[in-house]
Every structure is written in structure tokens, then in C-alpha cells.
Structure 1
Amino acid sequence: MRREQQDHGERVTATRSARADVATADIEVRHLTRTFGEVRAVDDVSFTVGAGLLTGFVGGNGAGKTTTMRMVMGVLSASGGDVLWDGRPITALDRRSFGYMPEERGLYPKQPVLDQLVYLGRLRGLGAGVARQSVTAHLERLGLADRARDHVEKLSLGNQQRVQIIAALMGRPTALVLDEPFSGLDPAAVDSMADLLREHTARGVPVLFSSHQLDLVERLCERLVVLARGRVVASGTPDDLRSSSVLRHRLVLSGDAGWVRGVTGVHAVDVEGHTALLEVVEPAAEHRLLEEALRRGDVHEFSPQRPSLAQIYREVTA
């Protein structure tokens, strides 16, 4: 009986420990605004970074992404609006447990990689042993174990980026806010980084990262937020954004497809030889199109085209 009670107690302790290690809070941005003099860099921006989700933050240069992320982290004060953590106003103590990778890299060029990362881990409240263990494991994961004693200035820009990533990921962050974390990384490092981020989201950690690499964002993210001129112009899952995008069809004929430009209710986006990319802008126009196509010869293909994130981005930011 005593042994059963002991086993039960150990299971309860392990369960509580596992639950304590899982973050389940959201980051909520509500009507966030930031002005610089007469310029409104961020204009009434609202979105949620869900617990356990990778959220991609997309926008051109000057769209307001970095300014928004700085306000989320408290590096920059907001002119208006709120940032919430777990449904309440975020505090400096909350942010201390976040992993943050800023746009401007903050590494000491003449300090060895290992010593520098352990030092940064200590600043975040990790014990020396825990910090060294976390750093060593991340250096191994990102292929930098053999460069641990090198000065940062001796590393390539891509490897310096990996060091900066480790500074954000070490320990057990409760949230991650990463500004262009994949910039300068080779494909192998991108895959390693993606695996690391998924491990954090599996713990329930909300992850917000910005990137200009739309194909990468499309591949990795469960949710997207698109910014243009300081405002959110689209947000949702990739499927949400695709369903709201203009539907296009690919038409492949046996003969020249140039005649499709004259079909009422159909917009020819691109025509090249036997192939046309089309938008049906009037109900039932596709029936007239196919009837005319069959009258002229064989139709080899008429299929809906799934828009890429790049196409959606161009539509919503135009």
C-alpha cells in the first residue's frame, strides 16, 4: 500500500511538473499605435499570437513590423493601445521570461561565443550551470559546437545570426518575439531553426516572427498577419487568406489561347501560347468560356489555382 501511494505521489508530481512547464498564454495586441512626430508608423494594429502557434508577421520595409515588435517587448512605448499577456496588461516581469531577437544585433564582437551566451543567459536569470548546459545544447543543434571558443567577429554573418538566435532561445522562454530570425541562414540552418521553434510551440509557447521570405512563412506558419503602411491588411490562417483571395483558373488548350481576352466576364491575367491564367469575374462566365474553348478544339486542362502567399501578399498590399 505504501509503495502504491509513493508511485501515485511520483506520478502526481511529474504531472504537475509537466503542466508547469507548458505555457498556454496568448499575446494580444489591441489597437496599438505609435507616432513619430507627424508620422504614424503603426496605426490601430490588433492581432493575437496564439499559444502554441507560429505566427508569421509579414510586410514590406517600413510597414511597421519592427516598431510593433518593439512595443510588444516594451523596448518602445506605445502612443496608444495595449499589449495583453494571458488576458491582462503585460508587465516587465512577464517580458523577462520572453525570448526576443531584435532587428539590430547586440553581440560583443571580441568575446568568445560560449562565454558571451552564458553571460547573456545569466542576465536572464539562469544559473551558471543551467546557462552553460542550454548554450552547449543549442550550439550543437545549430552546428556551432566547434566554434564555441571563437570570437564572434571571426564568424560569418550567417553564423553570427545563429548565435543571436541562441541568445533568444536559451532557457525555457514563455513566448518568442523574433525579428527576421531566418535572415542569412543556409537551408540546413533554416530547417534546424524551424525544428527548434516547433519544439517551443509544442510546449504551448506563442511565437511571433517577421520575415521577408514568404515561401518560408507559408511553409511554417499556422497564422499570418500582413502589415502595410502601418495597418493590418490581412490576417488569419493560410487557408483563410486563400479563401478570401480572387480565384484563378488555368486553361490549357490544343490551340492558341489568345482569344480568351475577348470573353465577357473573364479577366485574362496571363496568356502564353496554349495556356491562360484567368479570373472569372461574372457568375457562369466559365460556362461560356468552356463552350467556346470546346468549339475551337480540345481542352486539356481547366483547373482552379491555389494562390501562393506571395500572390495574396501582392493583392492585399497593393
Structure 2
Amino acid sequence: MLLEFEKPIADLEAKLADMKTLAEQSNVDVSDAVKKLEEKIHTLKEETFNNLTRWQRVQLSRHAERPYTLDYIYEITEDFIELHGDRLVADDKAMVGGFGNVDGQTIMFIGQQKGRNTKQRQMRNFGMANPDGYRKALRLMKLAEKFNKPIVTLIDTPGAFPGLEAEERGQAEAIAKNLKEMFMLKVPVICIVIGEGASGGALGIAIGDKVFMLENTWYSVISPESCSSILWRSWDYKEQAAEALKLTAHDMQGMKLVDGIIKEPLGGAHVDSKAMAKELKKVILKNIKELQKLSPEDRIDQRIEKFSSMGVVVE
């Protein structure tokens, strides 16, 4: 799948492939031309991806080939044991979690999971969790706390599921309880936005000692399309909405709502998912090591102070 702003790059890459094929078939030395074209492609990539608009970053965060939660977990961990169910109603397939071993360190991983094809998307409910999913996430967090294991949450959702049945089963209560309980967890908690971070659906697993965003992700109370439909009664103004919402990683860091930005490979995380997972692993282990030096009481105090200071204006 090609996004509109990726097409000029794809055209040059196709031209490069044709040039290499022609050279192989005719035994003609075109190494100089190939080198120049490769340099031109690299320059165009840098110019394109270093100057993306907010809407283009939203599009990149939704790229069909972008790694999802389980892709990162299986790449980062030596082994992973997925745990199921909220022990109350159901096992929400939109929320996944379990223990994984990372360089000898056992970590509880929790995150939203989207699907690659129609069947998977239906099973995963497009990464939109029901109350059962948030209750499952909290159950797993409490399990990690019981065994004194750090928690890493990977956030990628267009929002909590807004269906009637979700509201009937207490969607708002489930998310609110997660917010309250995550503040008081005695173990280190690291939250990373790996794709879409929309509304309370994202926030329900995003209260942590450290909150990071991948370079081409977004985090906001509402998606650009929904914002556009409310303000202009049309999705046609989604680009203007994205600009007004200031929802990118750089915006969030500038407003001190996240602790850092994790750089992606040039072109996006999907270009080199293994390199992206390696960088994610490095950030996770580094921050867990730092957080483990603090006492549980200090971590909780700092966590509460961190979120309490957000949005406060002193005149």
C-alpha cells in the first residue's frame, strides 16, 4: 500500500529496479547512474519524511504494513506466554498481554492488537477494546505487581469500542478504574504509543512512569476525522483538524505530555520492523533499569506528580 506522498519515491525506486535489471541482462556497466539514483532517492526520502504534515503522520501511523503489538512482542522476547480473559465476562481479542523474557528480564507486555486482513480485523475488533479488554489488562497488571515484574504497554487503537454492548458492560468505569489503579502500581510501568493513540481507549493503558511515542504516531483526545465531523459536519476537513489538534509525537513532547520520542527508520517503522523492534527493546531495558533503582513509593509519587502537573497554568 502506497500513501500519496510516497508515490514519487516509489516511482524512482521502480526506475532503479528497472535499471539494475537492464544492467544484468545486457552486461552494461551502469554503476555510476545507479549510485546517483540511489543518492537521489535517499535525499528525496529525507526531504519527504523529515517534513511530513500532521495529517501525513496520522496516515503513516495507520500504514497497513506497520508492525502491531504482537509483532514487536515476538521480535523483542525470547519467549512469550499470552494470558487470556478478564475472569469476569470474556477474552477480548483486541487487547493482548502476557509475560515475555527479554535478555533474562521477565516483563509483562500489554497492548491493543489490530488485524492484517478482514477476518483478523473482525476478530480483533479493529484494535478497539471492550470493557472486558481493559479489565483483562488490569488483571494482568495486578499479576505482574504480585510477582514484582515490570509492565510495558504498547498503545495502538482508534479508540475504545463505542458500541451499545460496551456501554452496557461499563466501558467508562473500566477505563476509569484502570487510570486509578495504574497510578498506584508498585512496579515500573513504561507506556509506548506505537501507532494510533486515540482518546480514553489509549489512556486506559497509558498511565506510566515513562510515556514514549514512536516518531510517526499520534496521541489525542479525538481522531482528525471525528473532530472534523463534529466541527464541520464533514470528514473533508480532517487535515485542518489534525493541524489544530497538534497530535504528533513532537507536539506531545513540546507540551511535556510524553517523556521522549523513539526514532523510526527512514520511511516509517514498517520499512525495517526488525530495526524498530531493536530500538524499542533498547529503550525498554534502559528505562526499566533506571526505574528499578527507585523505591515503589518514590515511583508512585513521581507518577502522580507527573500527570498532576499536566495542563496546569500558573499566571
Which of the five TM-score ranges fits, normalised by the shorter chain? under 0.3
Q: TM-score, normalised by structure 2?
A: 0.28
Q: TM-score, normalised by structure 1?
A: 0.28
Structure in which a larger fraction of residues adopt strand: 1
